[in-house]
């Protein structure tokens, strides 16, 4: 009986891991497609801005945003957050799925882990909306290049230093502690939920803590380039190490020092 039970749990774990891996891979494939389209073969983009639509769309840099452009940028940010954040939330979802399966087999089913994951992604969708407005404001102020990276060394330096300082704050540490201890987070917020709306709300709350942990490094996308795949990957790895490794807090603080140093260098060498 025990062997059969563990086999069911292993199968459930494999299904969840496969689903998360496919979701992450699809997001990164879309980002690679958008980045390749925006590069336009290295052609001169002076006076123009690219629209991340994968269709070679561009607008005069001084032209106001149209609703369709806002929608494309918003979708780009959602996909980017899925690609960057899904690996780091995987341990939480796996714990939720395991306990949920155990409860189901004992006749007391919880809401599916997909509801928890959906709530988490809803929170990051809200962040994506805020990031879209931030990108609109920066482009309107001529502070971003056509490839969506900072056109001002002062802006880049200030953002880097601010992100570095935040890595050392008590708020960052508190939010990171919840991300590093999935089971503790769930138990401190009412435990596992039987109803779908409760699981959705729990996932959303976890997403808010995750945003509290990671919003400052996410702003660095505007420094290194919103469509710079290497920069996106580096930040995604940083987030994963912070949240999934036992030495995550040390990684966070070392990264903070590095951000401050990089920011100071930009300010001193404009």
- For 47-83, the pLDDT digits (tens) are 777 788 777 777 887 788 889 999 999 999 999 999 9
Question: Which pLDDT score is estimated for 132?
Answer: 96
Tokens of 61: 């840099």
- Model confidence band, residue 21 (pLDDT cutoffs 50, 70, 90): very high
- CA dist., res. 210 & res. 88, Å (int): 10
According to DSSP, the residues that pair with 48 across neighbouring strands are: 60
Q: What average pLDDT does the segment 105-130 reach?
A: 88
Q: What average pLDDT does the segment 109-115 reach?
A: 82
What predicted TM-score, i.e. pTM, was given to this entire model?
0.90
What percent of the chain is modeled with pLDDT above 90?
54
- Model confidence band, residue 40 (pLDDT cutoffs 50, 70, 90): low
Question: Which pLDDT score is estimated for 261?
Answer: 97
> CA 166 → CA 85, 112, 258, distances in Å?
19, 35, 12
Question: Which pLDDT score is estimated for 190?
Answer: 79
Question: Is 103 within 8 Å of 109 (Cβ atoms)?
Answer: yes
The H-assigned helical ranges of the chain are: 2-39, 67-105, 113-140, 153-166, 170-180, 182-188, 196-219, 221-224, 229-244, 248-268
Q: b/e for 13-46, b at 16 or more Cβ within 10 A? A: eeebeebbeebbeebbebbeebbebbeeeeeebe
- CA dist., res. 142 & res. 151, Å (int): 8
**pLDDT tens-digit series, residues 192-242:** 788 889 889 999 999 999 999 999 999 999 999 898 999 999 999 999 999
């Amino acid at each position: 009986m025990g062997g059969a039970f563990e086999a069911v749990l292993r199968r459930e774990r494999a299904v969840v891991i496969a689903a998360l891996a496919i979701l992450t891979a699809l997001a990164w494939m879309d980002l690679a497609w958008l980045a390749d389209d925006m590069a336009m073969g290295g052609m001169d983009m002076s006076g123009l801005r690219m629209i991340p639509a994968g269709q070679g769309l561009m607008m005069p840099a001084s032209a106001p945003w149209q609703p369709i452009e806002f929608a494309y940028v918003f979708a780009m940010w959602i996909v980017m957050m899925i690609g960057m954040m899904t690996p780091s939330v995987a341990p939480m979802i796996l714990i939720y799925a395991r306990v949920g399966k155990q409860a189901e087999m004992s006749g007391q089913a919880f809401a599916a882990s997909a509801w928890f994951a959906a709530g988490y992604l809803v929170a990051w969708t809200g962040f994506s909306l805020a990031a879209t407005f931030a990108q609109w404001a920066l482009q309107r102020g001529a502070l971003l290049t056509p490839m969506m990276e900072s056109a001002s060394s002062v802006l880049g330096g200030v953002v880097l230093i601010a992100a570095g300082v935040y890595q050392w704050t008590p708020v960052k540490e508190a939010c990171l502690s919840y991300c590093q201890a999935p089971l503790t987070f769930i138990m401190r917020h009412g435990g596992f939920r039987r109803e779908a709306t409760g699981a959705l709300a729990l996932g959303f709350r976890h997403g808010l803590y995750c945003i509290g942990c990671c919003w400052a490094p996410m702003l660095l996308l505007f420094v290194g380039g919103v469509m710079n795949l290497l920069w996106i990957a580096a930040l995604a790895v940083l987030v994963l190490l912070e949240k999934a490794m036992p030495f995550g807090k040390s990684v966070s603080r070392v990264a903070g020092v590095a951000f401050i140093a990089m920011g100071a260098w930009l300010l001193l060498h404009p």
